[in-house]
Structure formats: structure tokens, C-alpha cells
């Protein structure tokens, strides 16, 4: 009996030790991921592009993270940019070039591609998303495959009253089409009227919870996208008398631009007529609204970052802040995005690694937003995908920010409409074969098109070698 009892005790002890050891081994130590997406945020405030732009929360975050000085969107409009980001596939592969193209339903490749949140959920992460995420409807059932929660969106509002919208004297303020959304309002009602505030609150609540698995969280803001509406205190941070026109504006700047480029600059032509050259007061008022909306977005971003920093997840969380595209504020006689110039293609992008590795460092090599997906796959040890990711993992640059990079960042907007950006030059080639080339070392605002300079032949050939060999047929969509 004694022998049986001892054997039984030894067996039980072995079982307990084995289970305990298995629990230690089974504990998932992969990093959490928090992605924050601002909407239509250009590089004002990030560099010396428009001095005086107030983004204190992001400025503080940069001290703890790696900044990508030359980060570029795969497409200069919201929906296609996000489709590329979340799928890891370029627009020239999927055909998703324009807003309104319904990419997740019309593109066979995007229907089959496993999106970033779908992969994280399959990999055992708790997934949580709120706000502006895809800017397009997913096929039925894909939301459940992506998120453990039911994402709340909210929309672009609150909208300004008609009296606060920009129009020329004598014209109705509601105007045609999208012009009516260019309202500028110092909002005096509760902050909670804004979806960005509601979604930040939801994100903060999620970060305060105890999670027994690593999590993947996406917070998508609607600002600083139009309408330029923000709580009054953010307008008060800027003195209207000190607001100046953008440094990137030059009268006559389109004189050396090919017809296709000039066409893109006129996509929202009525906006330039109402708030461009000759309408400087309106122009400055719109700038005031954009700056206030940018600082309002920064405030919400800061609240979520603070929640991560104050949580027990701070040291083991990757945080990425990026914007889906840049934004013209009069550069090239243009408002909004939907061009292949620097103002529309250049985006803020900052990533913080666990334990703040390489904090405060700057990567100068050109990178693309499609590079994020393979980067997270590598850092989070995610399972293999069925489709090939077209980006390149940024891990080598994050681990050694001074490392050289072997390729430019490419952006497209329509079939055969392509740009490539290396550390110094931006090259643009339109469907007609006409070109633009800018030397950012000597011409940071792209005032002088060097495409016809014989000395630039080799530069053009090198950058044009990255022009895709195959172009997917466009899924359609609207002009901007």
C-alpha cells in the first residue's frame, strides 16, 4: 500500500510540475499592437513645412519612438490607401486606385486577402477596432473575422451650420457637391459630439482592462479631415492675424506641369476658386480650421497614448501612428489630396517598439505604408499568410535606423499614374509618358520640374525602373 501511495504521490507531483511548466511555456509574450490612424493629416508640424503647427502629444511621443522622415502612402486617397495598408497589396495589384471604388467587394484579390486584423485574430490576439478603419464596406462576415468587438464608426460630423461654410460673395454657401463640407466652426457644444472623442474613450476603456492574451487595437480618427470643425479651445490656440499662407505655394507653379498633373490639381477646382489666390482671407480661414482640427486630432491621439503609458502593457506594446494620406492646403493651386506630389503622398509615420528601443531616432530612408504589414508579421511572430505581402519589413530600419535602404517608396493614382520617391528625388510619370522630377535637396516644395534636364536622365531611369510592369484594371470610383 505504501509503495502504491508513494507512486501515486510522485505521479501527482510530476503532473502538477508538468502543468505548471506548461503554463509558463504557454504564456503568450508576443507584443501588443496599437495602431492610431489620423485622417488627411499632412506633414505640417512634423518638419519645417508649416511652422507653428501645434501637435504636442505627437511631439512627445516621438521622443520615445522611431520617426520615419520619408514615409509615403501607396495611394493619395483614403479608401485605396487603407486597402493597401490592411492587405499589404499595392493599388496597381488590386485596381483600388480611387475612393468610392468599393475595393473589398470588387477586387478578387482583396476579397481573398487576409487583412491585418483577420490575421491577428487567427493568430490568437484579442482584436479591437473603433473609428474610421477601412473607409469602405467589407464583405458580409468579414467584420466578425476581424474584430472581437463590433466597431463603432461615427462619421465625419458634426457638420457646421450653413452660415459657417466657405463660399464666394453672392454664392449659396451649400454650393455643389463636396464644397459644402468645407465648413469651419469653433464648436462650443460638448466634446462628445465628436466621434473621435467617443472612440478615444472606448479605446482608453479597452486599455484599462485586464487581457490574458496579447491584443491588436486600431483607433481610427476622422480628423483633421473636413469639415474643419473642432472645439473652440483648439481654434483659440492660433491667432488668426499670425496665420500665413503655406510656404509651399508659388504663383504660376503649374506652368511646367504636364496636362495630367494640371488635371489632378483641378479635381476640387471650386475650392481653389473660393479659397485660393485672390481669396486670401478665406484661404487663411481654411488654414485656421485645418490647424485647429490637426491639434484636436493630436489631443485625442495623446489621450490614447497616455492610456497605454499608464497601463501594465506599456513596455510590451508596439504603437504605430500614421495618416492615410497627405493633404494640400493650396500647394500646386490645390486643396485636399488625389495627386502624386509630395503634399499628398508624404505622411506622418512613427513607430514605438517595446521597451522604447531606439527612442528618438529618425529613419531617413524612404518607406511605404504597405511595409507595415510584413513588419508586424515579423515582430509578432504571426502565422504564414496565403497571399504574398508586397511590402518589405521595416525591422532592419527599426533595429538600426541609420541603415541604408535599397528601394524608393512608390505611390499610384490611376492606371499608369505613378511616382517614386527616394531620399532626394521625386519622380512622376503619367499615362501619357510625360514626366516630372524634383530635387528635394534643393527644392523641397517642388517648384521646379527637372524632367527635361538632360543631366537628370540617369536619375529618371533609375526611379522609373520601379514603375510596375503590370497594372490592374481600375475598379472605378470618383474623382477624389
Which residues are catalytically annotated? 78, 135
- The 8-class DSSP code of residue 117 comes to H
Q: Can you tell me the distance from the alpha carbon of 155 to that of 143, in angstroms, rounded to the nearest whole number? A: 18
Give every CB contact of residue 452 below 8 A, 6+ residues apart in sequence: none
Q: Can you tell me the distance from the alpha carbon of 216 to that of 55, in angstroms, rounded to the nearest whole number? A: 25
In SS3 terms, 280-347 reads as: HHHHHHHHHHHHHHHHHHHHHHHHHHHHHHCCCCHHHEEEEEEECCCCEECHHHCEECCCCCHHHHEC
User: Which uninterrupted H or E stretch holds 412?
Assistant: strand 409-412
What totals of helices (H) and strands (E) does the chain contain, helices first? 17, 17
Query: 390-396 — which CB contacts under 8 Å span 24+ positions?
Result: 390/88, 390/89, 390/90, 390/93, 391/88, 394/68, 394/351, 394/363, 394/367
Q: Can you tell me the distance from the alpha carbon of 410 to that of 367, in angstroms, rounded to the nearest whole number? A: 9
What the block records as the C-alpha cell of 125 is 490576439
Amino acid at each position: 500500500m505504501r509503495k502504491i501511495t508513494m507512486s501515486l504521490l510522485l505521479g501527482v507531483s510530476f503532473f502538477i510540475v508538468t502543468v505548471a511548466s506548461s503554463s509558463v511555456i504557454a504564456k503568450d509574450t508576443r507584443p501588443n499592437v496599437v495602431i492610431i490612424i489620423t485622417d488627411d493629416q499632412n506633414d505640417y508640424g512634423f518638419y519645417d513645412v508649416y511652422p507653428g503647427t501645434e501637435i504636442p502629444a505627437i511631439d512627445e511621443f516621438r521622443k520615445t519612438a522611431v520617426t520615419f522622415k520619408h514615409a509615403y502612402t501607396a495611394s493619395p486617397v483614403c479608401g485605396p490607401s487603407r486597402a493597401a495598408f490592411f492587405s499589404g497589396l499595392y493599388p496597381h495589384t488590386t485596381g483600388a486606385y480611387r475612393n468610392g471604388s468599393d475595393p473589398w467587394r470588387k477586387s478578387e484579390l482583396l476579397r481573398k486577402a487576409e487583412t491585418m486584423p483577420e490575421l491577428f485574430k487567427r493568430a490568437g490576439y484579442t482584436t479591437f477596432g473603433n473609428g474610421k478603419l477601412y473607409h469602405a464596406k467589407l464583405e458580409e462576415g468579414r467584420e466578425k473575422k476581424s474584430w472581437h468587438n463590433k466597431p463603432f464608426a461615427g462619421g465625419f460630423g458634426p457638420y457646421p451650420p450653413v452660415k459657417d461654410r466657405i463660399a464666394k460673395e453672392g454664392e449659396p454657401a451649400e454650393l455643389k457637391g463636396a464644397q459644402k463640407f468645407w465648413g469651419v466652426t469653433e464648436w462650443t457644444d460638448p466634446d462628445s459630439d465628436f466621434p473621435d472623442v467617443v472612440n478615444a474613450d472606448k479605446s482608453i476603456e479597452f486599455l484599462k482592462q485586464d487581457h490574458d492574451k496579447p491584443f491588436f487595437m486600431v483607433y481610427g480618427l476622422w480628423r483633421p479631415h473636413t469639415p474643419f470643425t473642432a472645439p473652440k479651445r483648439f481654434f483659440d490656440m492660433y491667432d488668426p492675424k499670425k496665420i500665413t499662407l503655406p510656404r509651399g505655394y508659388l504663383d504660376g507653379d503649374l506652368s511646367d506641369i504636364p496636362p495630367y498633373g494640371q488635371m489632378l490639381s483641378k479635381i476640387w477646382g471650386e475650392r481653389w476658386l473660393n479659397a485660393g489666390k485672390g481669396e486670401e482671407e478665406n484661404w487663411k480661414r481654411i488654414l485656421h480650421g485645418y490647424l485647429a482640427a490637426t491639434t484636436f486630432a493630436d489631443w485625442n491621439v495623446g489621450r490614447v497614448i497616455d492610456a497605454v503609458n499608464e497601463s501594465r502593457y506599456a513596455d510590451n506594446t508596439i504603437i504605430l501612428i500614421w495618416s492615410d494620406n497627405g493633404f494640400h492646403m493650396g500647394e500646386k493651386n490645390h486643396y485636399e489630396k488625389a495627386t502624386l506630389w509630395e503634399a499628398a503622398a508624404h505622411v506622418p509615420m512613427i513607430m514605438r517598439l517595446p521597451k522604447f528601443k531606439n527612442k528618438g531616432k529618425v529613419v531617413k530612408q524612404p518607406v511605404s505604408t504597405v511595409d507595415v504589414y510584413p513588419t508586424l508579421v515579423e515582430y509578432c511572430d504571426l502565422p504564414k499568410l496565403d497571399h504574398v505581402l508586397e511590402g518589405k519589413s521595416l525591422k532592419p530600419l527599426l533595429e538600426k535606423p541609420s541603415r541604408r535602404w535599397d528601394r524608393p517608396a512608390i505611390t499610384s493614382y490611376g492606371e499608369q499614374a505613378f511616382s517614386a520617391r527616394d531620399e532626394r528625388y521625386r519622380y512622376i510619370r503619367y499615362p501619357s509618358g510625360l514626366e516630372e522630377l524634383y530635387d528635394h535637396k534643393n527644392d523641397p516644395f517642388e517648384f521646379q520640374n527637372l524632367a527635361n534636364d538632360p543631366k537628370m536622365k540617369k536619375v529618371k531611369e533609375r526611379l522609373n525602373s520601379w514603375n510596375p510592369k503590370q497594372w490592374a484594371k481600375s475598379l472605378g470610383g470618383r474623382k477624389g
